[in-house]
């Protein structure tokens, strides 16, 4: 091997494109940029534009939606909890929750709550507080003698069944029944206030003239 025989690996260096040097090179005139206008300028990216026709992403059918109320739990397996207990990072005598797991370095963040999964084996009796848990994880914790604390399920709001006009008809029926009850109560109160049959009506005493006041006596001069 001589110095004049040393050369870089084949393909390590490529010749630069010589643009704008005549149409015979294939990169003359427009220098490989096509026609004029917006697409011939640098820094332009018209993603999904197909010259005015309906683009592909709008022609494709759509299905499903993104649920903004979906809970995103931080999932932890039983083997990760057992490994943290064995290494001394977790205290099995204290309730294990998202704060304890984060302090032990098992999880990075709690997200919307802790969800326990059943991969691995749990040998230690522990008390775990989580937002959700799978059935295998629940069985494994109970078999090890531990307890699992979960929040109560949320109550579903009472839903109105029937079409709008059916609900309106029910409202009108209730209003009519309430008006009938009020009418009966009013008639009963009138009957109680009226004098009994056979009783003489009470006569009012006539008013005296002058407002019922005696005239003032005139004192002698």
In which order are the strands placed within the sheet that holds 114-117?
Answer: 74-77, 114-117, 132-133
Per DSSP, the three-state class of 76 is strand
Cβ(22)–Cβ(30) below 8 Å: no
200 half-sphere exposure, CB direction, 13 A CA radius? 3
- 76 by Cβ neighbours in 10 Å (0-12 / 13-18 / 19+) ranks as buried
Cβ(148)–Cβ(135) below 8 Å: no
Q: Delimit the domains of the chain by residue range.
A: 74-149
Q: Can you give the pTM of this predicted structure?
A: 0.49
pLDDT at position 221, please? 43
The owner of tokens 């989580």 is 130
pLDDT at position 218, please? 56
CATH architecture of 74-149: Ribosomal Protein L15; Chain: K; domain 2 (3.100)
Who's near 25: CB < 8 A, 6+ residues apart?
A: 18, 19
Cβ(13)–Cβ(7) below 8 Å: no
pLDDT at position 210, please? 58
pLDDT at position 44, please? 79
How far apart, in whole angstroms, are the C-alpha atoms of residue 125 and residue 147? Answer: 8
Which letter does DSSP use for residue 210 in this model? G
Beta pairing, strands 147-149 & 114-117: unpaired
How far apart, in whole angstroms, are the C-alpha atoms of residue 79 and residue 120? Answer: 4
Smallest Cα–Cα separation from 75: which of 17, 43, 39, 119?
A: 119
How far apart, in whole angstroms, are the C-alpha atoms of residue 206 and residue 212? Answer: 10
Give bridge partners of residue 132 from the DSSP assignment.
115
How far apart, in whole angstroms, are the C-alpha atoms of residue 37 and residue 51? Answer: 13
Print the SS3 string covering 95-140. Answer: CECHHHHHHHCCCCCCECCEEEECCCCCCCCCEEECCEECHHHHHH
61 half-sphere exposure, CB direction, 13 A CA radius? 2
> Which regions of the chain are under pLDDT 70?
159-163, 194-221
């Amino acid at each position: 091997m001589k110095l004049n025989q040393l050369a870089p690996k084949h393909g390590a260096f490529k010749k630069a494109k010589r643009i704008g040097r005549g149409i015979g090179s294939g990169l003359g005139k427009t220098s490989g940029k096509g026609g004029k206008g917006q697409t011939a300028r640098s820094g332009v990216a018209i993603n999904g534009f197909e010259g005015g026709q309906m683009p592909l992403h709008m022609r494709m059918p759509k299905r499903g939606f993104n649920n903004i109320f979906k809970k995103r739990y931080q999932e932890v397996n039983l083997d990760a909890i057992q490994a943290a207990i064995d290494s001394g990072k977790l205290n099995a005598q204290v309730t294990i929750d998202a704060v304890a797991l984060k302090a032990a370095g098992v999880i990075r963040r709690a997200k919307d709550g802790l969800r326990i999964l059943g991969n691995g084996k749990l040998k230690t009796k522990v008390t775990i507080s989580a937002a959700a848990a799978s059935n295998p994880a629940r069985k494994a914790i109970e078999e090890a003698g531990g307890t699992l604390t979960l929040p109560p399920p949320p109550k579903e709001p009472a839903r109105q069944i029937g079409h709008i006009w059916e609900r309106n008809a029910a409202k009108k029926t209730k209003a009519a029944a309430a008006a009938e009850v009020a009418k009966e109560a009013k008639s009963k109160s009138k009957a109680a206030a009226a004098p009994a049959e056979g009783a003489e009506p009470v006569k009012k005493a006539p008013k005296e003239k002058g407002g019922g006041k005696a005239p003032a006596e005139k004192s002698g001069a």
